[in-house]
Amino acid sequence: MTLDEECKGCLYNSQLKKVERTESDAKKIEQFKEGVRELCADPPKAYCAPLLMRDINNLHARIFGHGINYSAEKKMFNSAVLAMEDGLYSSIMSSPDPISDGIKYAAAANYIDFAKLSDLNEGSLALVEQAAKKTVPNEQTLALLKQKLSSGKTLLYVHDNCGEVVFDKILIRVICALYPNISVTSLVRGGEIINDATRVDAAFIGLERYAKVMDSGVAIPGTYLKEITDSALKLFSESDVIISKGLGNLETLYGEGYHMFYIFMCKCAHIAKRFGHEQWSTAFVYE
């Protein structure tokens, strides 16, 4: 998906707020602001938001000597959701439709996004729970997913943000319990970028107990097929079922020719319009 003007404004505002909170050198902050303005004003044609975010992070590294650091936020959200995991998993498994309920929470958890919202805290998890209760996965898409899980042998789960990744883990646990024929591979980012999940985060939450963990090979907050490793790219053609989480993956994968399920929250007006949803509602679609 090409870069929308709304994306430029969100990335500009959210990353400047983060830098102003965490950096103290006024001259460098102003240099960073000007650099971000230039990146947002004239990005390459056919760019998408994840590639612009990578450029912003690289600019930060050149000016401050390191990328934009979300390690504290990542640990906070992963730890907070881990504390909920077993109770939520038990609740979902005892529901009339565990797959549907697992998707509800996974979709609502896409709210945990520091590229869009810079002021999230642990209290935001209450909003995730509220959104999950309002979510109603598309019945036809849900039936198709269940059909493919029943007949398939391999599932590729493409992850997005921290905190959210624990809700993904819960959905994977549900799938593994109900469809023991399925072998799951989790694809995370190949390096630190915003609050996206990496191998380090996957190890912290114990994801490897339920899935084989691989990374994309690149620090982009999406899955840009032109740059990921050959082994990561191979997963898309060899997996029987693919689930893609979040807007960064949607923006880099949608329209690339693969059959997959997308779970995300319509945090952006142009995304909501594109898929015929209300802004801030969740979406579960199949391409």
Residue 241 pLDDT level (bands cut at 50, 70, 90): very high
CA distance 209 to 130: 29
Average pLDDT over residues 142-168: 96
Average pLDDT over residues 237-264: 96
Q: What is the pLDDT of residue 150?
A: 98
Average pLDDT over residues 68-90: 91
Residue 130 pLDDT level (bands cut at 50, 70, 90): confident
Q: What is the pLDDT of residue 264?
A: 94
Domain ranges of the chain: 5-64, 71-286
CATH of 71-286, one of 3.30.479.30, 3.40.50.10880, 3.40.50.300, 3.40.50.10470: 3.40.50.10880
What average pLDDT does the structure give for the chain? 90
Average pLDDT over residues 147-168: 96
Quote the Cα angle for 11-252-126, to 5°. Answer: 55
Tokens of 223: 């899955």
Residue 123 pLDDT level (bands cut at 50, 70, 90): low
> Does position 131 have pLDDT exceeding 90, yes or no?
no
> Does position 229 have pLDDT exceeding 90, yes or no?
yes
% of the chain with per-residue pLDDT over 90: 64
Provide CB contacts within 8 A for 287, sequence distance 6+: 254, 255, 258, 259, 260, 262
Residue 65 pLDDT level (bands cut at 50, 70, 90): very high
Q: Between these two residues, 110 and 82, which has the higher pLDDT value?
A: 82
Q: Between these two residues, 50 and 10, which has the higher pLDDT value?
A: 50
> Does position 189 have pLDDT exceeding 90, yes or no?
yes
Average pLDDT over residues 246-265: 95
Residue 1 pLDDT level (bands cut at 50, 70, 90): low
Under 8 Å between Cβ of 264 and 283: yes
